[in-house]
Homo-oligomer: A and B are copies of this chain.
Amino acid sequence: MKREDGLLTQKFDKLLIANRGEIAMRILRACHELGIQTVAVYSDADRNAPHVRYANEAYNIGPAPARESYLVMDKLIEVAKRSGAQAIHPGYGFLAERAEFAQKCVDNDIVFVGPPARAIAIMGDKQEARQTVKAAGVPIVPGTEPGLNDEEMVAAADNIGYPLLVKAVAGGGGKGMRPVHRAEDLPDAIAAARREALAAFGDDVVYLEKMITEARHIEIQLLADSHGNTIYLGERECSLQRRHQKLIEESPSFVVDEDLRRRMGEVAVAAAEAVHYANAGTIEFLVDKDKNFYFLEMNTRLQVEHPVTELVTGIDIVQEMLRVARGRKLRFTQEDVTLKGWAIECRINAEDPYNNYLPSTGTITTVRVPTGPGVRVDTGVFPGYEITPFYDSMISKLICYGETRGEVVLRMRRALQEYRIMGVKTNIPFHQIMVESHRFLTGQFDTSFVETRFSMDEDDGETHEMEAAILAALAAHKQGLHASQIVAPGERDTSNWKWLSRWERLRR
C-alpha cells in the first residue's frame, strides 16, 4: 500500500539497516527473530564492527566520516537495490528523521520502516510541528516564529521572558540548542546554536522558546499502524540529562499517576493523528512542578531509550515496527497495554566524568558485560573496538528491570560494579554516584539536576586508594620479576618493558 504522504507498507523478507553500533545490533536481532534476512552497511572504520559480522550480508559504503558514508542517501538506496532488500530501517540519528530519505525509499519501492515522509517533514520543522499540534489541541510552550534574524530574536526575547532556549529548527538530541539566562548572553548563544546546527544539520535557522524551570522531561511512546490505530505504551522519565543529552531514563515515572498518564497518552495520540502518523514515535513533553505538560517535540523514529518501555510493557517495539511496516494491524488495543514492574537505563559513554565529561577515544581492550537476573545490555562494542571521533561516544545501554524501583536501583548498582571496560574512560563512575545519591533515590530531580546540583565530588561511597596502590605495586612487581629474568637489570627501557608486558600476557 502506497500513500500520498509517503507511507508504503508491504511484506518484505530482506531488510537493510542504515545504521551502525548498538541500534544496528538491536534491529538485526529483531529481524533474525522474525526470520527477516539482513543487510548491513559499513564505513571504512566499521569493517570489523559487530553489526557487520552479525548481518547476513554487508556492504562497504565509504570513508569513516558519516557525511561520506552513513549519510549518503543514494549509496544506501543503491545497496538496497543491489542486495534485493525490500525495506530499510534507519535506526536513530543519521537519516532517521530526514523526510527526503523516507521519500526516496518509497520512490524506489522500498519500505521505509518509520512514519510517512510528510509526518517526518512536519515534525522535523519545530515551528510547523508546534502549529500543527496546537491546532489539534495539544498544549505547547510559548516562543517565537523561526526565521527571524538575530535582532528580531533579541527583541522578541523580552516578551517571552528569561530563562529561554535558543533552538535549531532542524535540531534534535540537544544539538543546536542553547539555554540563555540573561539578555546579554543571547547574541552569543544564537551564534553558537547557529554554528552547531549548521555543522550538524546543514541548516542554521533557529528560534526561541520559553524555558520551563524545575521541569521534567517525560515522553510518551506511541505505536501506530497503517490502518488508523494509534496506542500509547506509557511514559519514560528522561529528566537526567547533561547538555540536553539524556543519561538515565526510566519507566514508569515517579511523578506520573494513572490519571496523568492517560491524559498525556491521549494528547500524544492526538498529536500523532494530526500528522497521520504510522509506526513507532515519541512525543516529548515538559512537565512543570504543578504537573502541567507542554508539547516539546515529536521524535519520528525509534529512540535510544526504547528498552525501558519494552521491559515494563512486555512489548518488543522493534518487532512491532517491522510488523506495522509490513502492513499488519497492531496486535494490541490500548486496553491490552499494562505496565508491570520498573525499568531503568544507564547510557554508558566513553567519556571522563572526572574531567568535564570529555569524550575518551582509544581502543577497548577488555569488555565484560554484567549478566544475571533483570539485566539487559544493548551494545555494539567488543574487545578491539576503537572509539573514534567520527561517531558518538555511546558504548552501550545498561538496562535493569525488577518488581519495584527500589529493587531496580539496587540491581543497577550491582550491574555497574560488575561491568568491566578497559582501554577508554567511561561514565560508569557517574552512574554509580548517581544511583547512590539521595535525590535520585527519592526521585527529586528535574532536567537541570545533573548540571546544577550534581557533582562527582558528592561521592560518599567508599574509595579504595590503598587497595588500588597495592594492585598497581603487585602488577609492577610481577612485571619487573619477569623482566629481570629476561634482560639484565639496569636502566629501564620502556619499549622493552612494554614488549615484556605483552609477552607475559601471551604466556598466561
Instruction: Please list the residues of chain A having a beta carbon within 8 angstroms of any beta carbon in chain B.
Output: 25-26, 29-30, 32-35, 54, 307, 310, 314-316, 318-319, 340-341, 368-369, 371-379, 382, 384, 402-403, 407, 410-411, 413-414, 417-418, 502-503, 505-506, 508
Contact = CB atoms under 8 A, between A and B. Distances in A.
Given A30-B373, A54-B418, 17 more contacts: A26-B372, A33-B407, A33-B410, A34-B410, A307-B373, A310-B373, A315-B403, A316-B374, A316-B403, A316-B407, A318-B373, A371-B376, A371-B377, A372-B376, A375-B376, A384-B508, A505-B506
A454 to B, nearest CB: 23
B384 A378 contact: no
Contact of A506 (B318, B379, B403, B506): B506
Nearest to A341: B314
21 contacts: A26-B373, A29-B372, A29-B414, A32-B414, A32-B417, A33-B413, A34-B410, A54-B418, A310-B373, A314-B340, A314-B341, A314-B403, A315-B403, A371-B376, A371-B377, A372-B377, A373-B376, A384-B508, A502-B506, A503-B506, A505-B506
Nearest to A370: B29
A369 B318 CA distance: 21
A133 B474 CA distance: 59
A33 B341 contact: no
Contacts of A376: 371-373, 375
Contacts of A315: 403
A316 B373 contact: yes
Nearest to A410: B33
Given A314-B340, A506-B502, A33 B414 contact: yes
A403 B506 CA distance: 45
Nearest to A408: B33
Which 5 pairs from chain A and chain B are nearest by CB? Answer: A32-B414, A33-B410, A371-B377, A29-B372, A506-B506
Given A35-B410, A402-B316, A25 B379 contact: no
A289 B506 CA distance: 57
Contacts of A411: 33
A34 B410 CA distance: 7
Contacts of A372: 25-26, 29, 376-378
A303 B204 CA distance: 61
A369 B367 CA distance: 11
B373 A29 contact: yes
Contacts of A418: 54
Kindly name the residue among A372, A375, A413, A505 whose own CB sees the greatest number of chain B CB atoms within 10 A: A372
A175 to B, nearest CB: 28
Contacts of A34: 410
A157 B344 CA distance: 59
A486 to B, nearest CB: 16
